[in-house]
Amino acid sequence: MDQGKAARGVPPIFVILPDAQEVRGRLHARRQVKDGWLYQVGILVWQNGTYGLAEPAEQRVWVSPAHARPVPGVSYEHVPTHRLSGTDTPSQERPPAWTLQYLPHRPGHPGATLLHVIGCTPSDRTLTREEALAALRQPRAAACIECDAARSLPAEQRQADQNRQTQQQRDDESRQDTNPSETPP
């Protein structure tokens, strides 16, 4: 199945789905992490298109080697490969960057925003940690559970929430100090 001009030159790979089905996809990139490798694979799926008609779209996700298998006889030497340098350690790894995916409004489903770690979905703009946290606080926003976005921000989110609560407490105490006759709500 031809996945279009963008797929030309991107080698095929077998992708093992959560229900153990095996489908043919494309290998877009691979990156070394401290515990091994991750592979960015894309599979062609249906999505709602114009006027509610189904149209093909590629869904990309980073998977472990347990969820991808090479196609016999296919060369992967030209796949973009990002290796850890010999001096990289977990504390020296670059901090993650994030991107936003805007999910359009459709009848019966309000629009939403999905936060991804860079590389999970294509995007022309990256976000800093502060921008990612701010985006995640917006209504109908969530972190992608397929990439590291869901795991890369929770500690930061909790810290930001604690800082916000601490600041609120300080503000409340400050108001009480300036107007001692008032009782707090």
Nearest to 12 by CA among 41, 46, 47: 41
Given this model, what pLDDT does residue 128 score? Answer: 82
HSE-CB for 47 with a 13 A CA cutoff: 11
Q: Give the total residue count for the chain.
A: 185
Tokens of 76: 């992967």
> pLDDT tens digit string along 14-27?
999 989 899 999 99
Cα 63 to Cα 66: distance, rounded to the nearest angstrom: 8
Spatial contact of 32 and 84, defined as CB atoms under 8 Å apart: yes
pLDDT band at 140 (very low <50, low <70, confident <90, very high): confident
All residues at 6 or more sequence positions from 119 whose CB lies less than 8 Å from its CB, including other chains: 29, 31, 40, 62, 147
Cα 148 to Cα 80: distance, rounded to the nearest angstrom: 19
Tokens of 66: 């347990």
Q: Is the per-residue pLDDT at 78 higher than 50?
A: yes
In the chain, which residue ranges form alpha helices assigned H by DSSP? Answer: 129-136, 149-152, 154-178
pTM for this predicted structure: 0.46
Report the 10 Å Cβ neighbour count for 173.
Answer: 11
> pLDDT tens digit string along 79-109?
888 887 665 544 444 556 788 888 787 787 7
Least confident of 9-13, 69-73, 114-118, 155-159: 155-159
What's phi and psi for 46, nearest 5 deg? -90, 145
Looking at per-residue pLDDT, the higher value among 52 and 92 belongs to 52
Spatial contact of 120 and 60, defined as CB atoms under 8 Å apart: yes
